[in-house]
Structure formats: C-alpha cells, structure tokens
Amino acid sequence: MNGYQITFFTQQDRRHAGKPLADWLVHLAAELGLRGATLIPGSEGVGHDHRFHSAHFFELTDQPLTVLMAVTTDEAERLFQRLRDEGVHLFYVKVPVEFGSMGDPSD
C-alpha cells in the first residue's frame, strides 16, 4: 500500500484539549480509525525555538517526543484537516512510503 509516514515532533509539557499533545495525537489516530500510532520518547533534541530540550531523571516536562503514523493519502487528508480544525500548532515531517504487513498475525 502507498501512503505517507508522518512524524510529529513535540515535547512532554505541550498540551491540547487537557491532555499531553503526544497522547492526544495517539488517541486521535484511534478515533480516526488509522492503523496505529507510535509514541517515542527522546532523550535530547533542539526545538524550533533553537532551545535544547532533554529528559532529566527528576524532570521530564521538557522531554522530546515523536509520534509516528503510516497512513494512506485519504487518511492523511482527514488527519491534517482535523488538526487544522482543532487549531493544533505542531511541526511534522510527511514522507511518501510503501507500507503493509507480512506474515501470520497469530505469530
């Protein structure tokens, strides 16, 4: 199947609709019926503000996070329309990909 890999970049202390933004994105993927979303914590990063962000043992609010999704063209359009409707400000990378599943799902 052809579509896009979309990677959203945020940090632990960013919120939307009362939830951490990364968690909200994962739940949005489920709500929209997408194949899935993966939230990946990072240890360090530099944001659009050119500030250094990192996860410290006692303080995780500045921890960089990425959310990855593989979606079809139609799913990408629905996802981005919803983000526009919600007024979400978020950096992303959208790359054309081929994706699918292999093997027996019971393994």
Tokens of 43: 């240890």
Residue 104 domain flag: no
What total of structural domains would you count in the chain?
Answer: 1
Q: What is the CATH number of the domain that holds 94?
A: 3.30.70.120
Asked if residue 79 belongs to a domain, the reply is yes
In a domain, 105, yes or no: no
Question: Residue 42: its pLDDT value, please?
Answer: 73
pLDDT at 107 over 80: no
| Interior angle at CA 24, CA 19 and CA 28, nearest 5 | 150
Q: Write out the residue range of the structural domain in which residue 70 sits.
A: 2-98
Is the residue at 47 inside a domain?
yes
User: Which pLDDT score, from 0 to 100, does residue 17 have?
Assistant: 94
Residue 98, SS3? strand
Residue type, 5: Q
- Cβ atoms of residues 98 and 71 within 8 Å: no
Residues 6+ apart with CB under 8 A from 38: 67, 68, 69
**pTM attached to this predicted model:** 0.82
Does residue 106 lie in a domain region? Answer: no
Q: What is the pLDDT of residue 32?
A: 98
Biggest alpha carbon–alpha carbon distance for the chain: 45
In a domain, 74, yes or no: yes
Inside any domain, residue 63: yes
- pLDDT tens, 20-76? 999 999 999 999 999 999 999 876 655 666 665 555 545 556 678 999 999 999 999
Query: Residue 23's pLDDT is what?
Result: 96
User: Are the beta carbons of 34 and 74 closer than 8 angstroms?
Assistant: no
Residue 107 maps to a domain: no
